[in-house]
Amino acid sequence: MKKAVAYIGLFLLLLPAGMNAQELVRKVDEIPFQRGETGKYRVYYDSWLTSGISAGIGLISIKDDVKQFNGRNTFHLEVIGKSVGLFNWFFKVDDRFESYVDEEKIIPYHFIRRTHEGSFKYEDEVDFDHENGIAKSRRAEKTIPANVQDIVSAFYFMRTLDFTEAVAGDVFYLDFFLDDSAYVSKIVFEGREVVQTRLGKFRCLRFKPMVAQGEIFQEPYPMTLWVTDDRNKAPVLGKSTVIIGSVKIELVKIEGLKYPMEAKLD
C-alpha cells in the first residue's frame, strides 16, 4: 500500500538537454480529459499469508475550480489515497497530492503533498518557474529541466501523447521532480491487451515504468500499468511486486470522461 497512489505519476517523455527552458515550454494540441473527471480505485494486497485483502482506496480527480498562475488558467489535479479496514491498525495511510497544471501545456505551476504513512509524515509545496528553470519548495530551490513534471501531472501529460504507432519495446523517458530532486524515469511500452477487472473487460495499453530500488522495491521494473486503448487513456489497473507480497490497484468507478469509453468491451 505504501506509496501506491504515487505510482501512477511515473510516466513519459525525454526532453533534449542543454537548451533554454523558456524556448522549450510546450503547447499540447489534444487534451483528452476535462474538469469533473473522477476515478475511484481499490487497492488490494497479496502475500504468502493473505490473498486479495482490500488494503485501501484511491481517488484521482480533476476538480471543477479554475485557479490562475501567472495569469494562466490551470487544471486542479488531485490524488487521494487512504488505507481501510485492518490496514488502519498496523499501517495507516492518509495521502493527498495536488497539482495545478497549465490547461494548454500540462506543466505544473504548484504542487502540494500531504503524506501520512504509518509513523512517517511529510508535507511540502513546490512552485515551478518554467521560464527560468527553477523549482522552489519549502526547503530548497533547485534548477529543473524544461517541462519537468511532478508525480501527479506526469500521468495526465502522458494521456496527451499519441500511441497509435507505438509498438512493443518502445521506450519513453520523463523528467519529474520529487523531494527537491529531478529524476528521469524510463518507461517501456509492452503492447496492447485485453484486461479483465471487476468493472469489466477493457482494451488497454500496457506500460512498465522504472522506479528506484530500495526499501520498497527489489527490482527496477516491478510495476505494470494499464490504461484504456482509446482517446481517454484512463488508468484501469496497476500491479506491483514489493519486498513482501504484491499490490494491485484496480478501477471501480469512473465519471466525467471527455470521450465515450470505447475501450470497454462489456
Domains detected in the chain: 4-255 (2.40.360)
How far is residue 162's CA from residue 146's CA, in Å, rounded to a whole number?
21
How far is residue 214's CA from residue 211's CA, in Å, rounded to a whole number?
9
8 A C-beta contact, residue 264 and residue 251: no
Q: What pLDDT is recorded for position 7?
A: 37
8 A C-beta contact, residue 176 and residue 9: yes
Cα 97 to chain centroid, rounded: 10
Q: Return the half-sphere exposure (C-beta side, CA atoms, 13 A cut-off) of residue 26.
A: 19
Q: 138-179 pLDDT, tens per residue?
A: 999 999 999 999 999 998 998 998 899 999 999 888 888 988
Q: 24-80 pLDDT, tens per residue?
A: 557 788 999 999 999 999 998 876 666 668 889 999 999 999 999 989 999 999 999
Q: 65-122 pLDDT, tens per residue?
A: 999 998 999 999 999 999 998 878 878 899 999 999 999 999 999 999 999 988 999 9
Q: What pLDDT is recorded for position 97?
A: 97
The structure's pTM equals 0.85
How far is residue 244's CA from residue 242's CA, in Å, rounded to a whole number?
5
Q: Where do the H-state alpha helices sit in 46-133?
A: 87-90
Q: What pLDDT is recorded for position 45?
A: 83
How far is residue 203's CA from residue 210's CA, in Å, rounded to a whole number?
23
